[in-house]
Amino acid sequence: MALAGGQTLLREMKRGRLSPTSLVDLGGLVPRDVALRDGAVWIGAGATHAKVAASDLLQRRFPVLAGLVAHIGDPAVRNRGTLGGGVAANEAAGDYPAACLALDATIETTARRVTASEFFAGSGELRTALEPGEIVTAATFPVTSHAAYVKFLNPAARYAMVGVFAARAADGSVRIAVTGARAHGAFRWPEAEAALGAVFAPESLRDVRLPPNGLVEDLFADATYRAHLAEVLARRAVELAVMRTQGVLVLSHGSSR
C-alpha cells in the first residue's frame, strides 16, 4: 500500500483493518508545491497540512483554505498528514473533502483529472472513486470570492462533529458541503444550495432542514442533533462568508459564539 503521511493508514493497521505486506513511501514521488495556476490554487498531494496552512500565497489569496487546514488535528498531525492522504481517505469528519466539494476542486491522480463531486461519489467501504493502484497527485481549487467554513468540535477527539463549508463562486453558483454527519464522508447539501441560489444570506436557510435519516449517531450526538447542528452551522458559514468574504470559525462546547 502507498504511504503518504500515514495518519489514516497506520491507525487502520493498528486496528487490524489493514494488513499490507509492504508499504511504498510516496514522500519523494508526489509534488509538494503550493502555487497559483491560471487563477486557481494548485496544491501537490505531498504538501503537509502545516505547509499549506503556512503558505503566504494562500494566506493572501485564499485565507479560508489556509485557515481550514490550520485546524486539522493537532501540530503532530499537521506536520505529517498530507493533502493527498486527506483527500484519498475521505474520513467521515475530514475537513479537506468538504473544502473540495464546496470549492468545486479538481482532483488529479496518476490516471486522470476528476471533479470533486465525482471523486467523492463512493459509498460504503469505497469512499472515493479511486481505482486500485491509482494515487492522488494534486488538487486544484478555484479561488472563490465568498467562502467560509464553520465546524463544531467533538469534545473528546476534537475532530468535526459537524462541519459546513459554504461557497459562492464568481458566477453566482452556490455550493454547501457538510462533513462529520455521514459515515461515508463529506457530501453536498442540494436543498441548502437551492435556497441560497436567489439570495446568498443566512435568512434564506431559515426553513431548510437536513433529514436525519442516515446521519451518524454516537455517544456525543444522535442523528437529530447532528441534523440541527448542520442547519445552524450552515447559517453561520453563510453569515461569515457575507461579512468577511472568507473565514473559518471553530466552535466547541462552551464557545461564547
Indicate if 98 and 133 belong to the same structural domain. Answer: yes
Residue 243 identity (one-letter amino acid):
M
Indicate if 129 and 152 belong to the same structural domain. Answer: no
Domain count, the chain: 2
Residue 8 lies inside a defined structural domain of this protein: no
Domain end among 112, 142, 172: 142
* 1 grid coordinates: 500500500
Give the pLDDT confidence of 189-248 residue by residue, as tens digits: 999 999 999 899 999 999 999 999 999 999 999 999 999 999 999 999 999 999 988 999
Indicate if 56 and 76 belong to the same structural domain. Answer: yes
Residue 160 lies inside a defined structural domain of this protein: yes
Indicate if 158 and 137 belong to the same structural domain. Answer: no
Residue 216 lies inside a defined structural domain of this protein: yes
Nearest to 99 by CA among 39, 31, 19, 179: 179
d(CA 1, CA 256): 44
Indicate if 175 and 124 belong to the same structural domain. Answer: no
Residue 221 lies inside a defined structural domain of this protein: yes
How confident is the model at residue 125, as a pLDDT?
59
Beta bridge partners of 247: 148
Domain end among 142, 177, 197: 142
Residue 110 lies inside a defined structural domain of this protein: yes
How confident is the model at residue 211, as a pLDDT?
97
- Torsion angle, alpha carbons of 116, 119, 123, 125, to 10: -120
Domain that holds residue 74: 31-142
How confident is the model at residue 61, as a pLDDT?
93
Indicate if 156 and 210 belong to the same structural domain. Answer: yes
d(CA 150, CA 229): 11
Residue 23 lies inside a defined structural domain of this protein: no
- Residues of the chain with confidence (pLDDT) below 50: none
Residue 246 lies inside a defined structural domain of this protein: yes
How confident is the model at residue 163, as a pLDDT?
98
**Which residue in this structure is represented by grid cell 476542486?**
105
Indicate if 93 and 132 belong to the same structural domain. Answer: yes
Residue 110 identity (one-letter amino acid):
T
Indicate if 132 and 189 belong to the same structural domain. Answer: no
Q: CATH code at 45?
A: 3.30.465.10
